[in-house]
Amino acid sequence: MTLSVRIIPCLDVTDGRVVKGVNFTNLVDAGDPVEMASLYNAEGADELTFLDISASVAGRETTLDVVRRTAEQVFIPLTVGGGIRSVEDVDRLLRAGADKVSINTAAIQSPELIADIADRFGSQVLVLSVDARRARTDSGFEVTTHGGREGSGIDALGWIEKACALGVGEILLNSMDADGTRAGYDIGMISAVRAISHVPLIASGGAGALSDFAAALDAGADALLAASVFHFGVHRIKDVKNYLSSQGYPIRALRA
């Protein structure tokens, strides 16, 4: 059975507000996370991703209050990431209403955290967020940390293979080079990750034209995450779904 393509708006949150920039810089205010979550839920989003992009940098936990209020407004799967450093952090987020958690910096610092979370809660709750950029590594892609601010020197494909073996259930692949540019997803990066990983793959970074969404699917993505094109009204979720449906991709029907 062919699974439906998932369309996932992303709320990058800092100081309780949704922000968006280019390559994680020059951030501008895009709105209230709870209001936006409610809107996207009503518009037919298949899932929602909430990333506290300053949590790891500031060394603090994701704002549980905002997560709780967001979870109260949505009736679709909610993934939350940012500042998760322990199994206890995951437990708190799940109790606050998250369905899945996304980890990045802490997993790189302590890979055993992946196995610990998967063993306790199951792989289905664990998303590995990979903020990757083109660099001089074996594969040509390097993992960055701390919200894309710091290079790690770690080869992205090697890291993804290791993380999958440890138990991650899904990969959120964000191209730092394409992020916020609306110039298209990084097709080469998506194809390279698809070739070495069989867990579901969410493509992120660079969505602009409607054809960009189809190109990412053709490269091997299972789900499509976008932020600025939705936040600033370039496309509505229904536009993306209707376009993909017209091109023959299986999508979940919009709710009446």
Q: How far is CA 136 from CA 102, 143, 151, 185, in A?
A: 26, 11, 12, 20
The residue annotated as part of the active site, out of 12, 89, 155, 179, is 12
Answer yes or no: is 253 within a domain.
Answer: no
- Judge whether residue 226 has pLDDT over 70: yes
Neighbouring C-beta atoms of residue 256, cutoff 10 Å = 4
Please report whether residue 200 resides in a domain: yes
- Average pLDDT in the 152-181 region? 94
| 127 and 171 Cβ atoms separated by less than 8 Å | yes
Identify the pLDDT of residue 55: 62
Containing domain of residue 61, as a range? 6-246
The residue that leads in pLDDT, 240 or 82, is 240
Question: Do the Cβ atoms of 187 and 203 come closer than 8 Å?
Answer: no
Range 111-120 average pLDDT = 98
Q: Is residue 241's pLDDT more than 60?
A: yes
C-alpha closest to that of 84 among 124, 125, 55: 55
pLDDT at position 59 is: 43
Instruction: With CA atoms as reference, report the closest residue to 119 among 74, 162, 157, 169.
Output: 169
Does any domain span residue 39?
A: yes
**CATH number reported for the structural domain that contains residue 109 in this entry:** 3.20.20.70
Q: Pick the residue with more confidence: 100 or 72?
A: 100
Is 32 considered catalytic here?
A: no
Residue 179 lies in a domain: yes
Which tokens in the block code for residue 22?
């280019």
Question: Is position 89 annotated as part of the catalytic site?
Answer: no
Q: Is residue 117 part of a domain?
A: yes
Percent of the chain with pLDDT over 70: 90
Global pTM reads 0.91
Q: Is residue 252, in this structure, part of any structural domain at all?
A: no
pLDDT in tens, 117-151: 999 999 999 999 999 999 888 899 999 887 667 88
Domain assignment present for residue 121? The answer is yes
Rounded Cα distance, 104 and 120, in Å: 18
- How many domains, in total, are found in the chain? 1
Q: Which of 131, 179, 186, 222 is catalytic?
A: 131
- Average per-residue pLDDT for the chain: 89
Residue 215 belongs to some domain of the structure: yes
| 98-107, 159-168, 234-243, 246-255: the lowest-pLDDT one | 246-255
DSSP 70: H
What band does 254 get if pLDDT is binned at 50, 70 and 90?
confident
By CB atoms closer than 10 A (0-12, 13-18, 19+), residue 153 is exposed
The length of the chain is 256
More confident of the two residues 63 and 166 = 166
